[in-house]
Structure 1
Amino acid sequence: MISTVADFHREVAGRLDTLAQRAADGTFDPAVDLLVNALEAGGVIQAFGTGHSEAFAMEIAGRAGGLIPTTRIALRDVVLHGERSVADLEGATMERDPDIVAELLAASPLHPEDVFVIASNSGVNGSIVGLALAVKERGHKVIAVTSMEHTMAVPPKHPSGQRLADVADVVLDNLAPFGDATLTLGEKYGAGAVSSLTAAFIAQALTLGVTERMLAAGSVPPLYISANSPGGDEHNHALEERYRGRIRRSG
């Protein structure tokens, strides 16, 4: 039996309870406003994260129960849809490189009404802050999902001296501790990382908020159903067709 699982459960459950209360208190409403406004204007939701934060983007874009007008931006797009080699994906070099942003944007289908949701636990790496700055300069709204405890405890790495939280229009705290690990095993071994779990909860809370808002307005929310359900492919493909050339599901 792994006795520390109960401790980890308490750490996770406590944070999820806090996030649920914040959602109930309206903390997420400004982010939902930006998402709904973008969709009503004909935009799509652009989700971006590197490293483990890419899991957040996967929760936003292209999954059952999620919104169809969404796209996941990933660093490998500059290989799949740009001119970079696969070898460039090794290590964390691109994640920390602010100059990769121009290539990312060139490889991405963008519309002036799109809104960006960017996740980064540390909120300081070059590609993360660089993308946020670049899309803000283009007039897009940015929602950040980050650990405020961690990001404020480390120096900015972007040449601008800014963090993701400094650039975003709305900041949502994923409540992860500094270093992400919630438990200390032995005298010094950190384990029990939590940011992926809390970020996934935030992603689903945003999706639910947008869906509720659209239903309240009398609109039909464009949601995926499981491709493994009867009629799933037909339903999903019909709605995806509305956004042909605007959303990407490969990669």
Structure 2
Amino acid sequence: MIDVTRDYLDKCRRMIATVEKQSEDIRKAAGWFAASILAGRMVHVFGSGHSRIMVEEMWPRYGSFPGFNPIVELSLTFHNLVVGANGQRQAMFLENVPGLAARILRNFDLSARDTAFIISSSGCNVVPIEMAERFRQQGIRVVALLTREHAAQSISKRQDGKKLGDFADLILDTGAPAGDAMIRIPGLDTPVSPGSTVGGAMVVNAVKAEVARLLTEAGHPPKVLSGAAVVGEERAAQLFEQAYDEHAHRLAELYRRVGDSPAAAAGR
């Protein structure tokens, strides 16, 4: 009998090696993100489809901290109903509608001091590509998290054939294979068990750790959401309130002059 559990875990170990080889680029991305946060601005994190998982892995959850703006559109990421109203067919259609990225970003007063973290395993769907393109047009550095092997073998849904990587200042790789699913079962002609979530979570949390280090070294240690089991109930509650308050204050800066700046006007 084939040990599919061991096979999957072995492939995950290979992804660890792939992530480790990107240590220098992870530190570079963290440096850009930390600079935005220290400037009082935010890192815009976007992903459609199941890439939403990586957005929420960055913030907010235990072990994370303010400074990141999670942009999650329910119309692109709400998979629970699968079919019918709000079904997956509609979500997959919408993530390839040109112009939607501009409408989403019209809600924010962007600044060149911001940075962006765009997640898309294939790097071939229109909305994530246009997100990166719009950010770059505003002078905002873009870090892309994709699966290099999968992106290389996939065809862009965009008419000009450009992919997410074409609008990224830096590309990070989940290390998953083309098609994402990693396990072959005897007698089954299609593989199962994707890997990009595992690889992506490793990259996201490595970046997060590096940002926390840089903020702390700069004299601005982040307010980290922490469990009561770690810091005690009183401290956990205090950090919870402080972190969410800081997020609200940072987000307020993104709304305060919406419609008044060239950045907002460009999204109309």
User: TM bucket by the smaller chain?
Assistant: 0.7 to 0.9
The answer for the alignment partner of 2:216 in structure 1 is: 215
The answer for unaligned runs of 5 or more in structure 1 is 79-85
- Give the conservation status (yes or no) of the 8 Å contact 1:132–1:168: yes
Superposed displacement of residue 77, structure 1: 7.2
Q: TM-score, normalised by structure 1?
A: 0.86
Mean alpha-carbon deviation: is it higher for 27-36 or for 121-130? Answer: 27-36
**1:131 is aligned with what amino acid?**
M
Tell me, in whole angstroms, the C-alpha distance in 2 between the residues paired with 1:178 and 1:75: 26
**2:139 is aligned with what amino acid?**
G
The answer for the alignment partner of 1:239 in structure 2 is: 243
The answer for the alignment partner of 1:151 in structure 2 is: 151
The answer for the alignment partner of 1:81 in structure 2 is: none
The answer for the alignment partner of 1:43 in structure 2 is: 41
Mean alpha-carbon deviation: is it higher for 221-230 or for 5-14? Answer: 221-230
Superposed displacement of residue 67, structure 1: 2.0
Say which SS state the counterpart of residue 52 (structure 1) adopts: helix
Say which SS state the counterpart of residue 28 (structure 1) adopts: helix
Q: TM-score, normalised by structure 2?
A: 0.81
Mean alpha-carbon deviation: is it higher for 231-240 or for 3-12? Answer: 231-240
Q: 1:167 to 1:227 in 2, by over 3 A?
A: farther
Say which SS state the counterpart of residue 166 (structure 1) adopts: helix
The alignment's C-alpha RMSD in Å is 2.6
Per-residue CA deviations over 1:128-152 (Å, capped at 9, x if unaligned) read: 1011101111121111000111111
- Give the conservation status (yes or no) of the 8 Å contact 2:121–2:147: yes
The answer for the alignment partner of 2:82 in structure 1 is: none
State yes or no: 1:29 paired with 2:18: no
Tell me, in whole angstroms, the C-alpha distance in 2 between the residues paired with 1:47 and 1:199: 13
- Give the conservation status (yes or no) of the 8 Å contact 1:64–1:227: no
The answer for unaligned runs of 5 or more in structure 2 is 77-84, 253-268
- Give the conservation status (yes or no) of the 8 Å contact 1:68–1:222: yes
- Number of residues paired by the alignment? 240
Superposed displacement of residue 112, structure 1: 4.5
- Give the conservation status (yes or no) of the 8 Å contact 1:95–1:126: yes
Superposed displacement of residue 63, structure 1: 0.9
Per-residue CA deviations over 1:74-130 (Å, capped at 9, x if unaligned) read: 12279xxxxxxx759734111111221122113457455221111100001010101
The answer for the alignment partner of 1:83 in structure 2 is: none
Q: Of the two, which has the highest radius of gyration?
A: 2
The answer for the alignment partner of 1:63 in structure 2 is: 61
Superposed displacement of residue 213, structure 1: 1.7
The sequence identity of aligned pairs, in percent, is: 23
State yes or no: 1:193 paired with 2:194: yes
Superposed displacement of residue 16, structure 1: 1.2
Tell me, in whole angstroms, the C-alpha distance in 1 between the residues paired with 2:91 and 2:71: 18
The answer for the alignment partner of 1:82 in structure 2 is: none
Q: 1:156 to 1:5 in 2, by over 3 A?
A: same
